[in-house]
Amino acid sequence: MTTIAHTESGTALEQTLTWWQREDLCYQDGDLYFAGQSVANLVREVRTPGFVYSMDRVRQNLMRLHTALDKAGLKDRHTLLYAMKANRFAPLLAALKHSGLCGIDACSPREVEHAVSCGFRPGEISFTAGSLSRRDFRLLSRFQGLFFDADSIHGIRQWGEMFSGSEIGIRVNPGLGISRDGNDKLQYAGNVTTKFGIYKEQFHEALAVAKDYGLDVTKIHFHTGCGYLTPQLPLWESIIENCLWFIDQCDSVTRVNVGGGLGVPHLASDQALDLDSWAQALWRQFGDRDLHVEVEPGDYLVKDAGLLLLEKTYLETKRDVLFLGVDAGFNIAPEPANYNLPFQPVPVYYRGEPLSPCHVVGNINEALDVWYENALLPDMEDEDYLVLINAGAYSSSMASNHCMRGEFRELLLQ
Ligand SMILES: Cc1ncc(COP(=O)(O)O)c(C=O)c1O
């Protein structure tokens, strides 16, 4: 039986230990369960630091997106491409291929190689990246059927030299960015000129270069930021509207790729993305145009499908702050430190004890190695383990060996 832990109603305490609970991630009689397994058992099996991913949750996330797009009117007119830079764990990629629910968005030749080694055909992979070297293009040319979105005029020329007469996509930059709470570290477009995509000012030149090489521009691609939630939906729609200008310049376009960026809540106060409204905005803008819509989410598919299992190293008050140390630092999951995206710490056992604040910190010699300030947790004196939720995306895939502490384990629960 699933019992969701409840603390005093309506308080910060309640929110700390309830906002993230769901059918497959919740307390049952005080023990944390994830994907049908006791997290205490997972800690024994995987050991710490370790990432555990639930393939069921990833499939549910994919299905929720497909359903919203179908319901909005885009049935048989959309494709989901998993942005594998979010998490490239091979068993996860193989399971995604097996699910048949998505293709791949890749952003480097090695990613393409890896996706192919996990079972994807090049024809199921869409490639979007910038600053590509000659060597990169040579490597890409080995994958017949790969679809290439050029991020610059340089990219159009290089592709044209290898594959004159083929189809190509162009990544555009509408000059408007989007992100969770306006977080500018997560924006790829906006007032500040960025390296991503081709702006309106250069678009006709880009089309002319494509024509010179006999390339058929059949796709417009845009990805303007990450982590957006329901409050950002009006902005989302104006970004789509802005991108119609690019589509209208080019008769040969049959597909539009609206990138990724769909976010998941990180805090009790975050309002989850209303997928129906999100999909309806796509329908309103593209419904009466004869366009196939591609979406390439990373975060939305895998972030909330992953936990980071940690062991407590110490508990100590310094001045007036209680520090809870754990056996891994920001180098194996850089989002909280680098992007201000907190991963809620959650105890493996919770039996209704009072909660009090502590700073959860890692084992790296850097001032930014703080997992979570003022986390509300029960007394951890006699407890050894805790987990960070939302650790399934941009964690292991961005991990470094800084301080030679880059070791971690990974397990996919199928
Ligand atoms: C071109 C492109 N597509 C898709 C994504 C995936 O974004 P997210 O994981 O936020 O969905 C990214 C991430 O930065 C990207 O650059």
320 shares its domain with 225: no
d(CA 156, CA 207): 9
d(CA 48, CA 254): 48
Reported as a single tens digit per residue, the pLDDT across 284-335 is: 999 999 899 999 999 999 999 999 999 999 999 999 999 999 999 999 999 9
Q: Residue 27 carries which side chain, given as an amino acid letter?
A: Y
Protein residue with least CA distance to atom 9, ligand 1 = 298
Index of the ligand 1 atom closest to the CA of residue 149: 1
Domain range enclosing 353: 12-54+307-413
**And the tokens for 206?**
């880009």
Decide if 6 is inside a domain.
no
Per-residue b or e along 297-312, where b marks 16 or more CB atoms closer than 10 Å to that residue's CB: bbbbbbbbbbbbbbbb
403 shares its domain with 359: yes
User: What Rg, from alpha-carbon coordinates, does the chain have?
Assistant: 22
Decide if 74 is inside a domain.
yes
324 shares its domain with 337: yes
d(CA 84, CA 301): 10
**CATH code, domain carrying 337:** 2.40.37.10
Decide if 5 is inside a domain.
no
Per-residue b or e along 68-91, where b marks 16 or more CB atoms closer than 10 Å to that residue's CB: bbeebebeebbbbbbbbbbbbbee
Protein residue with least CA distance to atom 10, ligand 1 = 261
Protein residue with least CA distance to atom 4, ligand 1 = 260
CA of 166 to the centre of ligand 1 (A): 25
CA of 294 to the centre of ligand 1 (A): 13
CB 116: neighbour CB atoms within 10 A? 19
Out of 285, 302, 319, a domain closes at: 302
Ligand 1 close to Cβ of residue 299 (< 6 A): yes
Index of the ligand 1 atom closest to the CA of residue 393: 9
Number of domains in the chain: 2
Protein residue with least CA distance to atom 5, ligand 1 = 260
356 shares its domain with 387: yes
CA of 261 to the centre of ligand 1 (A): 6
CA of 217 to the centre of ligand 1 (A): 22
CA of 39 to the centre of ligand 1 (A): 30
pLDDT averaged per 10 residues, the chain (length 414): 45 77 96 98 98 98 98 98 99 98 98 98 98 97 97 98 96 94 87 94 98 98 96 96 97 98 95 97 95 98 98 98 98 96 96 94 97 96 96 98 98 97
How do strand 370-377 and strand 356-361 relate by DSSP bridges? antiparallel
291 shares its domain with 344: no
Index of the ligand 1 atom closest to the CA of residue 299: 9
Per-residue b or e along 261-293, where b marks 16 or more CB atoms closer than 10 Å to that residue's CB: bbbbbbeeebeebebeebbbbbbebbeeeebbb
Decide if 340 is inside a domain.
yes
Q: Which residues pair with 306 in a beta bridge?
A: 53
Residue 371 falls in which region: left (phi positive, over 0), alpha (psi -120 to 50) or beta: alpha
Decide if 261 is inside a domain.
yes
Pocket test for ligand 1, best of 65, 81, 85 (most atoms within 8 A of CB): 85
**CATH code, domain carrying 163:** 3.20.20.10
Ligand 1 close to Cβ of residue 259 (< 6 A): yes
pLDDT at 182: 85
DSSP single-letter state for residue 407: -
d(CA 382, CA 45): 21
pLDDT at 341: 95
26 shares its domain with 74: no
Detail the DSSP E strand segments found in 102-242.
103-106, 125-129, 147-150, 167-173, 198-199, 216-221
CA of 173 to the centre of ligand 1 (A): 14
CA of 224 to the centre of ligand 1 (A): 9
108 shares its domain with 30: no
- Element (H or E) spanning 358, and its range? strand 356-361
Ligand 1 close to Cβ of residue 297 (< 6 A): yes
Decide if 1 is inside a domain.
no
246 shares its domain with 364: no
207 shares its domain with 72: yes
183 shares its domain with 263: yes
Out of 249, 272, 302, a domain closes at: 302
Decide if 68 is inside a domain.
yes
244 shares its domain with 178: yes
Cis check: omega of the bond before 345, within 30 degrees of 0: no
Ligand 1 close to Cβ of residue 226 (< 6 A): yes
**And the tokens for 8?**
């005093």
Decide if 7 is inside a domain.
no
Pocket test for ligand 1, best of 79, 179, 198, 223 (most atoms within 8 A of CB): 223
Out of 302, 331, 349, a domain closes at: 302
207 shares its domain with 259: yes
**And the tokens for 272?**
């989850």
Nearest to 198 by CA among 246, 158, 238, 142: 246
